[in-house]
Chain A
Amino acid sequence: MAASRTDTLTIETPEGIVFSLQLAGPLTRFLAWCVDMACIAAITGGLNTVLSVLGVINRDIAMAAVALAYFIVSVGYGMATEWFWRGQTVGKRLLRLRVADAQGLRLQFSQIAIRNLMRFVDSLPAFYLVGGLACLLSAKAQRLGDLAGNTIVVWIPRISQPDLKQLLKDSPNSFTAYPQLCARLRHRVLPREANLALQALLRRDELADDARVKLFSEMAGYFRTMVAFPQEADDSISDEQYVRNVADILFSSKDGRL
């Protein structure tokens, strides 16, 4: 086990490929648990109403059925949902969390069962204090149930492909008339700088007007220091269009390479 606390689990495959899973923090997990508690309360409340109808026939059997249903739902909810939804409960789905094997392998039913049974200790003395503390102290944010079940809880990012059509919109790229300068730009710009430009363009609508103007002004200024395009190509365009042209050259040019 790693000695220091981390927010990602990095796994290296035998092929030498490294991928990382983002670990969920105690607060997000607690919020997911609150949602699940609400679900359990709703399910047991519903079952209570339905099974109470049995009371018309036999009050004893109705009460027994309600007690058994409550026990089964409270103990089995996590196991059933995590098994059928591959590591997710309603709360985890809402907060985009998933239970995963600690080594990145396929999650087994026994692992799910153990991590849920261990809630009896993790929830002590109240509000998952033991589990929360274990989660805070553990290198992989594992509560005791995760430790015994050999599981982790990961955060699943919202996956979407970048809309590259956003880059150019309808404006022509005045820089493409200077292929040598474009090549120099591609050579000088680092991947993380290119990504910054791309992300700024993709998220432009999320920014306030002032912030957007300031951001693109700073970015354009930075890119101008790397390659100076002739005045006629630069003069008539805004800072945002300048960054748009740069990103277009970096990501979409036909002679770009894989």
Chain B
Amino acid sequence: MIINLNQFISAEKPYWDELETVLEQIEKKPEQGMSLEHLKRFHYLYQRAAADLAKIMTFSAEPHIRQYLELIVSRAYGEIYESRDVSSAWSPLKWFWQTFPQTFRTHINQFWLALITMLIGCLLGGLLVAIDPSTKEFLLPFSHLHDDPSQRVAKEESSSKDRLAGAKANFSSYLMTHNTRVSIFTLALGITYGVGTLIMLFYNGVILGAVFWDYIAAGETSFLFGWLLPHGAVEIPAILVAGQAGLVLAGALIGWGGRPLTFRMRFRAISDHLVTLIAGGAIMLIWAGIIESFFSQYHEPVIPYAVKIAFGITEILLLTWFFARAGRLSPDGHATQATH
């Protein structure tokens, strides 16, 4: 049986238009709530459009009207059956001081796994250079690290001119963008069931271990810590946080966690966490990039190593406090940072 298409469209179009208007409003300002009356009307319009769709599919194969109805019904369906929270107003401060550390603690096991992987890489890198110092030429990606550490220290400490003069900002931006790229890549490799993420962490560990052993064996421990701690105290944890995010992604892929959730539900549950972790890590890398360019590259006699090491240790302590304590709920239910 064929329906009277003209009559059908004339009768129903005002309702479709009204539904479209409501959808436009919701999609423009999803955080804006609806009164009960508006909600009831929205639901009615959705059901009416859905019924029209059913009718047109049953009685007529007219494709344009069907596609149009499918489109508005699908948009309304997405709004009506979405159960995830729409935060009323996103606050960057609240996100940084509460959401980020809370998310970090939620997935602390993945962080420990990332740390252990990097430490194993570190041990292996150190061991390889200890057994055969020539391996550092293959292990270390930067040519300036291939030289004898003592010679480099002597050269840096005796240099009277600022080799980064007029290029600090550019160097800093290079560090920020490069390290953020590495972090995103480490996260994205989580899709390889975490294997790629673990390899990235392990490889970074190998490089660190090789550099550490090379400088310590050469008796340049103060220089090493004075050079690496100020920026490394934040940069290395940032890479670990990216690794943590990659392992969270891998966990969702594999189905860790015990709860009988479907593949889609697991991904849905972690999507906000992944973005929080990687964005938090990127902020840490901005800080690390500034410090590495403007502070870490200056050695004695310009800046005493004790000052640089103390600066790095202070950063580690603050970072530890941040991840361990920030955003914890006090007994009255408020986040500790929110009260400050």
Chain B residues 20-64 with CB under 8 Å of chain A are 27, 30, 47, 50-51, 53-55, 57, 59-64
**How many Å lie between the Cα of A100 and that of B74 in the bound state?**
10
A64 near B169 with CB under 8 A, answer yes
> For residue A75, which residues in chain B have a CB less than 8 angstroms away from its CB?
184
Closest to A195 in B: B61
Q: How many residues of B contact A (CB 8 A)?
A: 70
> For residue B53, which residues in chain A have a CB less than 8 angstroms away from its CB?
17, 19
B79 near A60 with CB under 8 A, answer no
Identify A118's interface contact among B5, B169, B191, CB under 8 A: B191
B3 near A257 with CB under 8 A, answer yes
Task: Count chain B CB atoms within 10 A of each CB in A60, A103, A160 and give the residue with the most.
Answer: A60
A106 near B82 with CB under 8 A, answer yes
> For residue A59, which residues in chain B have a CB less than 8 angstroms away from its CB?
166
Judge if B162 is at the interface, Cβ distance under 8 Å.
no
**How many Å lie between the Cα of A164 and that of B8 in the bound state?**
12
Closest to B286 in A: A68
A191 near B271 with CB under 8 A, answer no
**How many Å lie between the Cα of A24 and that of B249 in the bound state?**
25
B81 near A19 with CB under 8 A, answer no
Contact flag A160-B30 (CB < 8 Å), given A68-B177, A120-B181: no
B272 near A110 with CB under 8 A, answer yes
A159 near B249 with CB under 8 A, answer no
Judge if A148 is at the interface, Cβ distance under 8 Å.
yes
Closest to B65 in A: A161
Q: How many residues of A contact B (CB 8 A)?
A: 71
Closest to A69 in B: B173
B2 near A121 with CB under 8 A, answer no
> For residue A102, which residues in chain B have a CB less than 8 angstroms away from its CB?
264
Chain B residues 296-336 with CB under 8 Å of chain A are none
> For residue B181, which residues in chain A have a CB less than 8 angstroms away from its CB?
71, 120
Task: Count chain B CB atoms within 10 A of each CB in A17, A100, A108, A110 and give the residue with the most.
Answer: A17
Given contacts A11-B77, A250-B2, A252-B4, 19 further A-B contacts (CB under 8 A): A15-B50, A17-B73, A19-B53, A20-B70, A21-B74, A64-B173, A108-B272, A117-B184, A120-B188, A121-B188, A150-B264, A157-B71, A159-B67, A161-B64, A161-B65, A251-B5, A251-B6, A253-B4, A256-B2
In the complex, the 9 A-B pairs of residues with the closest C-beta atoms, listed nearest first? A256-B4, A64-B169, A64-B173, A110-B271, A71-B177, A106-B82, A17-B50, A19-B70, A195-B61
